[in-house]
Structure 1
Amino acid sequence: MRIKAKLVFRPETLDRLRTVFDNLGIEIEEKIDGIAFLFIDDERYARLKDELSRMGIKPFELREKVFSEKELNSAEFLYMGPAGYWGYPQPEERMEDWQRASYDLSTACPLCGFGAVQNIPYLVKREPKFGRNDILALNWTYEFLVTERLRRLIEDASLTGVEFWPLLRYKRKELIQGYYQLFVTNRLPPMSPNTEIVDLKLPEAGPKRCSCGRFGRNRALDSVYGVAVPIRYKRGSLKDAKDFNLTSEWLGLYDARPKRIVSHRVYQLFSAHSIKRVTFEPVIVED
């Protein structure tokens, strides 16, 4: 695994930095802002940061984990997350409106959402527009929506732990043809205690305080890398795992959700058929 940094520079700083970029051999994408991509183990990254500190320039920085094909291909289980979004659940005026339309909230924390159970398909304004994609996540929910093509691929591969729920057109409650919610049915036991989960009472995370005592999240920033820490499971906890699974833990910052843990078969299927707009990260399985 390597960590890639995305450094975003304000337009007014670019002229001051051109000589620095040229001397270090760093290419800049100039759009509205200037953007540079560097792995943090690249010696140019440390040299650039030193120069920026000397000049009093602080770019906006995002980091992401980058895994090799070998790391991904050897993983028994992987975290599957969204890398593209479409649309919003309806009615979208307030969070409690769309949640009430599709969830049983009788056992849910009113602030962090822990314990909400979806019992009605999502309502959306119109038929999804995915372009050439076969999977995108519904904004706010982080739930995956898939095309008929991907549904058939998953069913033909006999992948387990998943159902395909319909989408309903808002107000008319009509079925939308050709698109489905990827509804995961299997829930895993708790993660390994070695997973660095921080339990929070909202905050720290925001102005409202959550009193349910069960709200948690992966630590947003690792002390070394500045990215989410890896998910770990004891091998015995995965003996009843399906191809698609949900974590027992509800993780998030403001609105907690279970995360999806998938088998290597899912990763193989998605790779073989060039299914994009998802991210995969190896899960550490402890013997």
Structure 2
Amino acid sequence: MKIIHRISLTVTPEIQKELKKMNIDVEQGFDAFEIDETNSCWLDLEEKVESWKAVDTVSTKFTKEEMAGAKWLRMISEWHHGYPQPNENEFGYLKVTYDSEKMCEKCGIGAFQKSPFVFKKDPTWGKRSILQVNWVFDEFFAKPELWDEIFKEFGVGHREVFDRNNKKLSSVLQLEIKDKIDIRIDNGGEICCQCGQLRLPPTIKGFFPAACGDFDTHIAKTNIYFGSGASSYRAVVVSSDLYKAISSKKVKGVKFHPLG
């Protein structure tokens, strides 16, 4: 496993000289570079990132053995296509698709789906066959043939998706994820000052928190929420068998992080 930091910043002549001493080549002006935590310069650089007002985007690269040995893996979308409808400028989907009566206005926890999703039109898939839409980070949408070939075999249901004229879209289905699992929470997170619920940060470095116990399902959402600001969502996890089935078909559109 490697922890990788993508550092984006405005490079001054002074910063350029300091990075050069660390064998990091950047251009003056806005630039970015990657460095992993095994690099001997990382500890020194870490102290400087905040003072430089740089943006540090953290990701984790796992070994094949770590991926293959995991009983559960988090499924993460590699792209977000379009916005849920209607009235995207006013977040109209929260009233149409969700029951948001008990949703916390501060953190966004508490809404649940009551109706099918509405898109403007069928997605432009390209070579990909599974996606998420913007603003909704705990639901996945797939091509019908992908659902039929893989997810159906693992007992995963689906829901239809419609356009704004209430016409069923032909090239996309919502994966129906009913089950919930608990994950181990050792530390971190924040308590919402309005609703009192615990929420974990959206980015977790290294292994995703381990599942608590065994579960008789192949896809589930975490009971605990993740997010920041007014956006909260549950993480979606899949069994090793479902992960291997998706990987063997070289499905494009998602990536996976093993649970610890």
What's the TM-score bracket when you normalise by the shorter of the two chains? Answer: 0.7 to 0.9
Distance 2:166 2:189 in 1: 40
Consecutive unaligned residues in structure 1, runs of 5 or more: 203-209
Q: Which residue of 2 aligns with 1:84?
A: 79
Q: Which residue of 1 aligns with 2:241?
A: 265
Offset from partner CA, 1:41-98 (integer Å, 9 cap, x none): 1113345557x58xx7443221112211110110001111222100101121223x21
Consecutive unaligned residues in structure 2, runs of 5 or more: none
Within the candidate set 176, 189, 193, 1:198 is matched to: 189
How many angstroms does 1:108 deviate by? 3.5
Scaled by the length of structure 1, the TM-score of the pair is 0.78
Q: Which residue of 2 aligns with 1:150?
A: 146
Within the candidate set 41, 45, 58, 1:44 is matched to: 41
Distance 1:234 1:133 in 2: 32
Scaled by the length of structure 2, the TM-score of the pair is 0.85
Offset from partner CA, 1:108-151 (integer Å, 9 cap, x none): 33443433221211111122112211111111011211113321
Q: CA RMSD in A?
A: 2.8
Task: Give me the identity figure in percent.
Answer: 21
Higher mean alpha-carbon deviation, 63-72 vs 39-48, is at 39-48
CA contact (8 A) 1:219 1:228 kept: no
Distance 1:176 1:271 in 2: 26
Alignment of 1:280 onto 2:256: yes
Alignment of 1:232 onto 2:210: yes
Q: Secondary structure at the match of 1:93?
A: helix
Offset from partner CA, 1:235-276 (integer Å, 9 cap, x none): 2xx233x11111122322222222212100121122112223
Aligned residues: 256
- What amino acid is aligned across from residue 252 of structure 2 in structure 1? K
Q: Which residue of 1 aligns with 2:157?
A: 163
How many angstroms does 1:27 deviate by? 4.9
Alignment of 1:6 onto 2:2: no
- What amino acid is aligned across from residue 198 of structure 1 in structure 2? G
- What amino acid is aligned across from residue 209 of structure 2 in structure 1? I
Alignment of 1:182 onto 2:175: yes
Provide closer, same or farther for how the CA distance between residues 174 and 42 of structure 1 changes in structure 2, counting only shifts above 3 A.
Answer: same
Q: Which residue of 2 aligns with 1:33?
A: 30
